[in-house]
Structure 1
Amino acid sequence: MTDTPISEMSFEAAMRELEQVVGKLERGDVALEDSIKLYQRGAELKKRCEAKLKEAEEKVAAITLDAEGQPTGTTPVEGQ
């Protein structure tokens, strides 16, 4: 795990750490108290990743609208 506060992590850094947390929890070789802390950290990392994805989607949406707010003919964001 990194010392960088989750609120300052890039999407990629948060995703990497989330994968590490999930890996440790899946192995099941962590003490119960540590598992709870890891689960909480994982939930915070997941929330950060979701927020960064939302920001990216909003930026893409803003770029693909013309001055009147109409789509400029680009394809929608996947999953929308």
Structure 2
Amino acid sequence: MSDEPTPVSELGYEQARDELIEVVRILEAGGQDLDASLALWERGEELAARCTEHLDGARDRIDAVLGDDDAGSRS
């Protein structure tokens, strides 16, 4: 089994969110050297962007459904 983290692009929303929470916890606790802190920060940025992608996709799906309902009620 590999110690490499799962690529961010393969994470679902909940997985990305949970890992982001852990990254923030570790960074807030301190004690990491500069390189480790920077790597965590970069991973956190990727995770936050992935969460945003999932939320934007969900918002688009909701808007599409609501838009379909609005169009149907106007017919």
Q: Please state which band the TM-score falls in when normalised by the shorter chain.
A: 0.7 to 0.9
Paired with 2:16 and 2:26, the residues of 1 have a C-alpha distance of 15
Aligned residues: 71
Q: 1:71 to 1:22 in 2, by over 3 A?
A: farther
Q: In structure 2, what is the equivalent of residue 19 of structure 1?
A: 21
**Which structure's residues are more often helix, by fraction?**
2
Paired with 1:25 and 1:19, the residues of 2 have a C-alpha distance of 10
Q: In structure 2, what is the equivalent of residue 42 of structure 1?
A: 44
Instruction: Give ranges in structure 2 of 5+ residues lacking alignment.
Output: none
1:13 partner SS: helix
Paired with 2:62 and 2:21, the residues of 1 have a C-alpha distance of 26
Q: In structure 2, what is the equivalent of residue 6 of structure 1?
A: 8
Return the TM-score normalized by structure 1: 0.78
Q: In structure 2, what is the equivalent of residue 75 of structure 1?
A: none
Paired with 2:4 and 2:63, the residues of 1 have a C-alpha distance of 32
Return the TM-score normalized by structure 2: 0.83
Instruction: Give ranges in structure 1 of 5+ residues lacking alignment.
Output: 73-80
Q: Point out 4+ residue stretches in structure 1 off by more than 6 angstroms.
A: none
RMSD, aligned CA: 2.2
Identity of aligned residues (%): 37
1:63 partner SS: helix
Q: Deviations over 1:6-65 (max 9, x none)?
A: 001000000000000000000011111100000000000000000100000000001111
Shift of 1:71: 8.7
